Structure 1
Amino acid sequence: MPATDRPRDSAGPGAATTVAAHRTRRRLRSDRARQLADLLRRQLITGTFPAGTLPHESTLATDYRTSRNTVRQALDLLRTEGLVKRQPGVGTVVVAQKYPHGLDRLMGLAETLHEHGHVTNEVRAMGPVPAPAPVAERLHVTLGTEVLHIERLRRLNGLPLSLDDTYIPLDLGTALLGTDLENTDVFRLLEAITGQHLGHADITLEAVNADSHSAAVLQAPRGAAVLMLERLTHLGDGRPVDLEFIRFRGDRITMSGLLHRSL
């Protein structure tokens, strides 16, 4: 075996120790870079940096008491996420914005993001369908009973933000057929139709990979992670009236809430 093909630790225990120490240093630097990226990401989202330009790498290294190599790795992580970009002569600038979506209040998307621009809905499909078992069970209707299904692409200021699949009991859904779904949240329409306020919602939030259809509609890379929000909304009297499967572009939305600890 040529000398260059021999395992490194064959040079003796001292060499093996050196290799292990080097790997440990690299791992620790990667850990610190990930931690720094988390801190900087929060500042990017909240608009902390003036004019959307990050401080110089040396300034960040001083501020966070770390090395410039660690800073570079952290910025590389943020560039991979599409949040920042390196511009010659300018530095590292913010090129993407994440919009806040609260999880502690029951609101439609237009209500949630009204401070950030105009939400529009492209109705891609709409009509009665036989209720699949998971839909029938959660909406408390008989299996196979028709429910209204709506698929909407939702945009904020023209940018694709979410792809929503909604199921509504047909006695309420029929009244939605002639309404302005392109510019009005379903929540507001349901309250107008029923004469009741919505009461509460059960939610589940998880990350899923974008299938070819949702990736194309959301203009996201196929297989990219998207945030899936499953939400079952009830009227004030407790009746379930709106089951939604919402796929958010994870690079354009951030979920937040206020939690209280019960003792």
Structure 2
Amino acid sequence: MSRTVTSRAERARQVADVVRRHLTEGAFEDGWLPDEAALARSLGASRNAVREALALLRDEGLITRRRGQGTRVVTPKYGHGLDRLAGLAETLTGYGTVTNEVRTARVVPRAPVSITERLGLPEGAEAVHLERLRRLGGAPLSVDTTWLAPDIGRPLLESDLAHRDVFDLIEETSGFRLGRAEITVHAVTADPDTARLLEVADGAALFAIDRLTRLPDGRPVDTEWLRVRADRFTLRAVLHRGGHPASAATDEEAAR
């Protein structure tokens, strides 16, 4: 019979993981965490492990601790699902106002080859280029760089890019529903320019989200690169093993 010995540091890390998840889920609605003794009881951990876990979360910039006052949430994390195609403002409804500082909105007469290839456009074709600094509740959240097929992007240049999601605007101005998107997520560190825009330290952790969005017929119309503050954002998905439940139900009915 084997016995696993859990070190104090490992236990603190495990407790920090649980508390971080609670922070992400908005468990502490008033912005204050319970005291160490209450956390220790609820988590089945020692007070020493809880104290060290809170120190880890403080170093991540998620909480602040003051003697005689308690532990307070500094940077709430907001979730974005990866199992549904939705814009950021739509996803964050209820968390605060999402606004966009429009840094670039223009037609590029001869788009880079990498862009025309990705959008399925002829070499040398024009494309619409957008860059927006997105804020939630006034605090910077992401820098979004977007390239659009010209027929899809040109009408957006006359639209409210400061307050609306690009997805909503595409569907409204084109009359098409978006179909699907391919998404790749990388872990990167902030370069000096991105760090300045997002108000984080050089080298701070970011999510880099690469997304290509298509119409229902498969035509690519929107390619984006998002640099998102990892201290304010989480990515979520519901994954099914062995096929989607709806497919399984259909198979069961067919077998009856």
TM-score, with structure 1 as normaliser: 0.85
CA distance, structure 2, for counterparts of residue 205 and residue 250 of structure 1 = 12
- Find out whether 1:246 has 2:226 as its counterpart: yes
Greater helix percent: which structure? 1
1:66 alignment partner in structure 2:
45
1:3 alignment partner in structure 2:
none
Residue pair 2:205, 2:231 contacting (<8 A) in 1 also: no
> Once the two structures are superposed, what CA deviation does each residue of 1:13-71 show, in whole Å capped at 9, x if it has no partner?
xxxxxxxxxxxx8x821111111100011112223236332232233334434333222
- Find out whether 1:88 has 2:88 as its counterpart: no
CA distance, structure 1, for counterparts of residue 83 and residue 17 of structure 2 = 23
Gaps of 5+ in 2: 244-256
1:17 alignment partner in structure 2:
none
- Find out whether 1:43 has 2:1 as its counterpart: no
CA distance, structure 2, for counterparts of residue 51 and residue 161 of structure 1 = 22
Range moving further from structure 2, 33-42 or 67-76? 67-76
CA distance, structure 2, for counterparts of residue 200 and residue 131 of structure 1 = 24
Q: Within 5 Å, which residues of 2 pair with 1:1-263?
A: 28-49=7-28, 51-129=30-108, 130-262=110-242
**1:125 maps to amino acid:** T
CA distance, structure 2, for counterparts of residue 100 and residue 118 of structure 1 = 15
Q: Number of residue pairs matched?
A: 239
CA distance, structure 1, for counterparts of residue 153 and residue 30 of structure 2 = 46
Q: CA deviation at 1:90?
A: 2.0
Residue pair 2:135, 2:141 contacting (<8 A) in 1 also: yes
CA distance, structure 2, for counterparts of residue 245 and residue 111 of structure 1 = 18
Secondary structure of 1:198's aligned partner: coil
**2:152 maps to amino acid:** L
TM-score, with structure 2 as normaliser: 0.87
Residue pair 2:146, 2:222 contacting (<8 A) in 1 also: yes
> Once the two structures are superposed, what CA deviation does each residue of 1:176-201 show, in whole Å capped at 9, x if it has no partner?
22111111111112112321100000
Residue pair 2:181, 2:214 contacting (<8 A) in 1 also: yes
CA distance, structure 1, for counterparts of residue 100 and residue 42 of structure 2 = 43
1:194–1:50: structure 2 CA closer, same or farther, 3 Å change rule?
closer
Secondary structure of 1:72's aligned partner: helix
> Once the two structures are superposed, what CA deviation does each residue of 1:85-117 show, in whole Å capped at 9, x if it has no partner?
112212222222111211111111111112212
CA distance, structure 2, for counterparts of residue 66 and residue 94 of structure 1 = 21
| RMSD, matched Cα | 1.9
Residue pair 2:212, 2:223 contacting (<8 A) in 1 also: yes
Q: CA deviation at 1:249?
A: 0.8
Range moving further from structure 2, 217-226 or 68-77? 68-77
Secondary structure of 1:38's aligned partner: helix
**2:140 maps to amino acid:** P
Residue pair 2:15, 2:45 contacting (<8 A) in 1 also: no
CA distance, structure 1, for counterparts of residue 59 and residue 119 of structure 2 = 41
CA distance, structure 2, for counterparts of residue 196 and residue 222 of structure 1 = 40
**2:79 maps to amino acid:** P
Secondary structure of 2:83's aligned partner: coil
Identity %: 52
2:248 alignment partner in structure 1:
none
Q: CA deviation at 1:250?
A: 0.8
